[in-house]
Amino acid sequence: MSLLPPRDATTALIAVDLQVDFLPGGALAVPDGDHVVPLANRLGDTFETVVLTQDWHPPGHISFASSHPGKAPLELIDLPYGPQALWPDHCVRGTPGAELAPGLAIPKAQLVIRKGHHHHVDSYSTFTEADRTTPTGLTGYLRARGISNVVLMGLALDFCVAWSAVDAVAEGFTTYVIEDACRAIDTHGSLDKARADMSAAGVQVLSIASFMG
């Protein structure tokens, strides 16, 4: 049985990338991505501190296949910071696809972290960009508010949720992922890898039923 996080002001919810482009019909649709939006609303109600994240790329971002002639979405390329999967153009800052999901209703949420805004660096993680050195500033925000535990949910489990969870552990937070409040892209073994990476890092995986008790 997994331990549950303390249900007090030391625990924050991070709702990851609940955005139009990751919902059915979006540019990088995650299968059944829309199913987790009502779960985010229910969970959000039970936390004092809620952080929303938004994938937020400039036009022509380095993670877009269209920025690399001859390359197709889901191919891998080598960048100075390591391998980078290529994606369809998605979550271009200021466009309708980058907006938060219609139906997302967490009025308590006070911070939105926008990530992936550097032209030459992607950022699946909401803590540290893909160069593994540039911080988003989220750690400082959470620490300043006395947060020591984080609970993650959202899209996509095998990219932005998993990378954020592994980094949350590295930043010293006790870290939980509510797996059935996430959906995955699952390409080239990414879901199995994400599960293995989270388990190796010590991320605790919960179900929404166990969490809601």
Nearer to ligand VGL, 10 or 127 (CB): 127
- φ, ψ for residue 132, nearest 5 deg: 65, 15
Q: Tell me how far, at minimum, the Cβ of 64 lies from ligand VGL, in Å.
A: 10
**204 three-class SS:** strand
Asked if 160 touches ligand VGL (CB under 6 A), the answer is yes
The window from 125-133, 140-148, 152-160, 194-202 that contacts ligand VGL (CB under 6 A) reads 152-160
Asked if 156 touches ligand VGL (CB under 6 A), the answer is yes
- Helices 162-170 & 190-201, crossing angle to 10 degrees? 20
> 156 is in the binding site of which of ligand VGL, Zn ion, none (Cβ under 5 to 8 A by kind)?
ligand VGL
Closest listed residue to residue 29, CA positions, set 187, 204, 209: 187
Gap between the Cα atoms of 93 and 45, Å rounded? 28
> 155 is in the binding site of which of Zn ion, ligand VGL, none (Cβ under 5 to 8 A by kind)?
ligand VGL
The distance in angstroms from the start CA to the end CA of the chain is 13
Closest listed residue to residue 17, CA positions, set 3, 8, 28: 28
| The residue count for the chain | 213
Nearer to ligand VGL, 55 or 129 (CB): 55
Name which position in 18, 106, 155, 194 contacts ligand VGL (CB under 6 A).
155
Asked whether 102 and 89 are in contact (CB, 8 A), the reply is no
Gap between the Cα atoms of 58 and 94, Å rounded? 9
Asked if 86 touches ligand VGL (CB under 6 A), the answer is no
Q: Which tokens belong to 183?
A: 């959906």
Asked if 34 touches ligand VGL (CB under 6 A), the answer is no
DSSP 26: S
Asked if 17 touches ligand VGL (CB under 6 A), the answer is yes
Over the window 119 to 138, marking each residue x when it contacts ligand VGL by CB under 6 A and - when it does not, the resulting string is: -----x--------------
The set of catalytic residues is: 17, 115, 160
Can you give the binding site for Zn ion, defined by CB under 5 A? 55
The window from 40-48, 128-136, 155-163, 195-203 that contacts ligand VGL (CB under 6 A) reads 155-163
- Positions touching ligand VGL (CB under 6 A) are 17, 22, 55, 87, 124, 155-156, 159-160
